[in-house]
Chains A and B, each alone.
Chain A
Amino acid sequence: MSPDQPVVDAINSAIDDLNEILDSEERLGQSPEIALIGNDARLDSLGLVNLIVLVEEKIQQRFGVAITLVDERAMSQSKSPFRTLGSLTDFVEEQLNDHGR
């Protein structure tokens, strides 16, 4: 299933905002394979927290729905919904659907 464009746009806009405050070697692109946690990730844990909060803010602005992105598996290398941009996008869509979007 291809991701929903408005969700992708919201996440990309969060990344744009985040990149403004990151050093150049940490800046994120926008492809789904980009790692957010683990050895391949450019972001440190603060960067990840900042991204998550920005994504929640964009989703609230654009969809009028408040989601809280928390997950038991957050720190798991293999199962975390925050593994990659792609898995984060799926997770956001799931949360939006749970809110009866």
Chain B
Amino acid sequence: MADETRRMVITGTRKGLGKHLVEHYSRAGWEVIGCSRQPVDYSVPSYRHFSLDVADEAAVGEMFAEIGRDNGHVDVLINNAGIASMNHVLLTPLSTVADIFKTNVLGTFLFSRQAARLMSRRRFGRIVNIVTVATPLKLEGEAAYASSKAAVVALTEIMAREFSDLGITVNAVGPGPLDTDLIRKVRKDKIEKLLGQLAIKHLGEMTDVTNVIDFLIAPESGAVTGQTIYLGGA
């Protein structure tokens, strides 16, 4: 009998948006598999965690091998793991830029490559990448972060084309500021200035993000691919 479990892989699930996504989709009846470098300190029904770095090719290969064993499938991948840094280009060490690109770009590439292999077996898949309004707003101080997410937008658009015959859609969601650790280090006046550039001038909610993801991963959304949806009116 075909395995009818709806299974989702989410990266960066220890805290912040990723943790919220685990709770939301687990509540909605999904079997969720997540990962982050450190283990999680919460427990959610039918949630399985892998402690790994999203850019570690061997570890990620093993993770998908385990998922794919005995015909295991994946319906949805959410590339959420991400890191940021606020700095002026002239003052930014190259190692910071390398770290940001490793997690945000290489991690997204690697997870998409491995997940699409499993999704192609059933000719169905939904990949959603988490990007940011920092890219279209061209925020000063976020050159490394915004350019890494611009790369993720390009990946989204090209993977949408390369994967379309495999029944896989690839889209991106770009939230405005959300109340997570990612922005806690950013000065309040910077956040206010950023919000001033958006149509909707207050912090976003986690549910704003899940609302768009719900739409993108719906079976009926097979004709929606290669799109980036920014929130807050960026």
> Is B214 located at the chain interface by the 8 A CB criterion?
no
Chain B interface SS verdict (over half): helix
Determine the interface band of chain B, counting residues with CB < 8 A from chain A. Answer: 10 to 19
| B68 located at the interface, meaning its Cβ lies under 8 Å from any Cβ of chain A in the complex | yes
A90 in contact (CB, < 8 A): no
Check A56/B64 contact, CB under 8 A, given A46-B165, A46-B166, A49-B166.
no
Say yes or no: is B61 at the interface (Cβ < 8 Å to chain A): yes
B114 CB contacts on chain A under 8 angstroms = 68
Cβ of A12 < 8 Å from any Cβ of B?
no
| CB nearest to B58 among chain A residues | A68
Residue contact B166 to A66, C-beta cutoff 8 Å: no
Do B120 and A50 have beta carbons less than 8 Å apart? yes
Q: Let me know if B62 is at the binding interface, CB within 8 A.
A: yes
A-chain residues with CB within 8 Å of residue B120 when the two chains form the complex: 49-50, 53
Are the C-beta atoms of A53 and B65 separated by less than 8 Å?
no
Inside 8 A of A53's CB, which chain B residues have their CB? 117, 120-121
B117 A66 Cβ-Cβ under 8 A: no
One digit per residue, 1 when the CB lies within 8 angstroms of any chain A CB and 0 when it does not, for chain B 165-208 equals: 11000000000000000000000000000000000000000000
Interface string of B105-126 (1 = CB under 8 A from A): 0000000011001001100000
Query: Which residue from chain B places its CB closest to the CB of A50 in the assembled complex?
Result: B120
A60 to B72 CA separation, bound complex (whole angstroms): 12
8 Å CB interface, A29-79 against B: 46, 49-50, 53, 56-57, 60, 66, 68, 70
- Could you tell me the distance between the alpha carbons of A66 and B61 in the complex, rounded to whole angstroms? 8
CA distance A49 to B163 in the complex (A): 10
Residues in B whose Cβ lies below 8 Å from that of A60: 65, 68-69
Residues of chain B with a CB closer than 8 A to A50's CB: 120
In the complex formed, the residue of A with least CB distance to B65 is: A66
A66 to B66, CA, bound (A): 9
Most buried by B among A50, A53, A68: A68
Q: Which residue of B lies closest to A54 (CB)?
A: B121
Smallest CB-CB separation from A21: which chain B residue?
B123
Q: Assess the B62–A57 pair: CB atoms within 8 A.
A: no
Residues of chain B having any CB pair with chain A under 8 Å: 61-62, 64-65, 68-69, 113-114, 117, 120-121, 165-166
For the complex of A and B, the 7 pairs showing the least CB-CB separation, nearest first, are: A66-B65, A46-B165, A53-B117, A53-B120, A68-B61, A66-B61, A60-B65
* Subset of 24 A-B contacts with CB under 8 Å: A46-B165, A46-B166, A49-B120, A49-B166, A50-B120, A53-B117, A53-B120, A53-B121, A56-B117, A57-B68, A57-B121, A60-B65, A60-B68, A60-B69, A66-B61, A66-B62, A66-B64, A66-B65, A66-B68, A68-B61, A68-B113, A68-B114, A68-B117, A70-B113
